């Protein structure tokens, strides 16, 4: 049972996306009023359909790059508005950069005008292809500013700069979460990210695509854990100095992940190797000591639990029967 707290009116930009829709639902279940602002670039009406049954839910279709005005007072703003999957953020790179820079500025100005707390969804991509492993928050990263990932990585880095400049000038009470790879229900089947790709391919009986050798690593956080971390960061009275990593430190190679998926959703199709995308980080794992110490937060759902739950959701979503897993 979720604990009820005093009611706030909370703006969730990007609330119709994968993470945002879970966040909106959890906030509504805690009794808050939620305004979801989304352009539906990568989000979907399906993700928020059930939320429209809550009296306290309001949906605004708008691009954050356009000037923002709200008719009601908000106490908190979560900025999740940005495509997060590499093929999606690279589809219109200039718009991705503008979303993260102009969009974040628009939302920060709104936070200033409303005296609202502001939480920025930043990313582990600010560390680029890291030379330090695992990545602590004080690592400054190894990012290309000219490559095909730069529209997102550098957009998110500039967004962090804006956040901390607002904070230094006391213009807004800002918190920044650096989110590591997150997965779960509500990812789009055609999202292009690894967990959705592999599960959908296995369910459709087509070969699992591994880019490069599959030796690169990622650390996978289940979406409910991430939402708990975001809300814990928003809830602390004193915003922590600097950004906070949120992710699950369990680290897997992509080949290991493909193997887990094949055990869970057996298919005869096997795997196929495709070229490694440009600037693909070789490894990634969060150091979450600060989140543990300052927020009392750590993830609870290991991949061995979250992956079957996500597979079951995709099977329902795609109208497929989940085959018996291999032991
Ligand atoms: P998503 O693509 O599912 O959701 C993003 C949402 O933002 C979508 O609903 C989309 O329509 C909306 N959006 C995009 N551009 C917009 C714009 N210009 N104006 C208004 N709405 C816009 O992605 P997600 O996985 O839910 O990620 C949410 C946030 O968390 C993003 O900011 C992302 O950068 C960050 N993040 C996610 C992950 C992850 O693994 N899921 C990792 C690191 C950071
Ligand atoms: N990847 C893969 N096959 C896919 C999709 C992704 O091998 O079908 C790889 C990708 O090259 C990267 C890792 O899986 O090394 C994670 O990719 P994703 O797009 O999920 O997120 P990233 O961490 O790269 O932003």
Which atom belonging to ligand 2 lies closest to the Cα atom of 198?
Answer: 8
Q: Where are the domains of the chain?
A: 7-181+220-248+281-300
Rounded CA gap, 14 and 80, in Å?
A: 5
- pLDDT means over runs of 10, the chain (327 residues): 72 98 98 98 98 97 96 97 97 98 98 98 98 98 97 98 98 98 97 97 97 98 99 97 97 98 92 97 98 98 98 94 72
Ligand 2 pocket, Cβ-based, cut-off 6 angstroms: 85-86, 181, 193-194, 197, 209-211, 216, 218, 254, 276-277, 280
CB atoms within 10 A of CB 145: 9
Asked whether 32 and 60 are in contact (CB, 8 A), the reply is no
**What is the best residue among 193, 202, 213 to mutate for testing ligand 2's pocket, by most ligand atoms within 8 Å of CB?**
193
Rounded CA gap, 81 and 74, in Å?
A: 17
Asked whether 22 and 47 are in contact (CB, 8 A), the reply is no
**What is the best residue among 15, 26, 41 to mutate for testing ligand 1's pocket, by most ligand atoms within 8 Å of CB?**
41
Rounded CA gap, 138 and 127, in Å?
A: 10
CB atoms within 10 A of CB 174: 22
| Closest-approaching ligand to the CA atom of 218 | 2
Strand, helix or coil for residue 9: strand
Rounded CA gap, 40 and 135, in Å?
A: 32
pTM of the model: 0.97
Q: Is the dihedral of CA 86, 90, 92, 96 positive or negative?
A: positive
Rounded CA gap, 220 and 258, in Å?
A: 13
Which residue out of 89, 127, 152, 166 is catalytically annotated? 152
First to last CA, the chain: 33
Asked whether 217 and 254 are in contact (CB, 8 A), the reply is yes
Asked whether 247 and 179 are in contact (CB, 8 A), the reply is yes
Reduce the secondary structure of 25-70 to three states and give it as a string.
Answer: HHHHHCCCEEEEEECCCCCCHHHHCHHHHCCCEEEEECCCCCCCCC
3-state helix, strand, coil in the chain (%, to 5): 40, 20, 45
ipTM tops 0.85: yes
Asked whether 262 and 202 are in contact (CB, 8 A), the reply is yes
CATH code: domain 7-181+220-248+281-300 is 3.40.50.720
Strand partners, 128: 142
Strand, helix or coil for residue 292: helix
Question: What is the H or E stretch that residue 295 is in?
Answer: helix 289-295
């Amino acid at each position: 049972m979720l604990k009820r707290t005093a009611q706030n009116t909370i703006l969730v930009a990007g609330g119709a996306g994968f993470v945002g829709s879970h966040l909106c639902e959890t906030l509504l279940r805690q009794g808050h009023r939620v305004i979801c602002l989304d352009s539906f670039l990568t989000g979907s009406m399906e993700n928020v359909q059930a939320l429209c049954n809550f009296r306290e839910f309001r949906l605004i279709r708008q691009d954050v790059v356009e000037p923002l005005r709200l008719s009601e007072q908000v106490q908190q703003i979560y900025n999740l508005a940005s495509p997060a999957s590499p093929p999606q953020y690279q589809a219109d790179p200039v718009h991705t950069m503008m979303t993260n820079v102009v969009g974040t500025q628009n939302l920060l100005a709104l936070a200033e005008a409303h005296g609202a707390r502001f939480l920025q969804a930043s990313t582990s991509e600010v560390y680029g292809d890291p030379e330090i492993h695992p990545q602590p928050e004080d690592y400054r990263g190894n990012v290309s500013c000219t490559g095909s990932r730069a529209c997102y990585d550098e957009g998110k880095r500039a967004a962090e700069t804006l956040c901390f400049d607002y904070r230094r000038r006391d213009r807004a009470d800002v918190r920044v979460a650096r989110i590591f790879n997150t997965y779960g229900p509500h990812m789009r089947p055609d999202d292009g990210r690894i967990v959705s790709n592999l599960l959908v391919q296995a369910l459709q009986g087509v070969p699992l695509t591994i880019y490069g050798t599959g030796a690169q690593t990622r650390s996978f956080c289940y979406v409910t854990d991430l939402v708990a971390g975001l809300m814990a960061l928003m809830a602390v009275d004193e915003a922590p100095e600097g950004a906070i990593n949120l992710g699950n430190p369990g680290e897997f190679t992509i080949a290991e992940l493909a193997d887990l998926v094949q055990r869970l959703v057996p298919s005869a199709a096997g795997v196929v190797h495709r070229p490694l995308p440009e600037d693909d980080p070789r490894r990634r794992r969060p150091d979450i000591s600060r989140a543990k110490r300052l927020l009392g937060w750590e993830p609870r759902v290991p991949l061995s639990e979250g992956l079957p739950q996500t597979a079951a959701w995709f099977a329902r979503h795609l109208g497929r029967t989940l085959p018996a897993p291999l032991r």
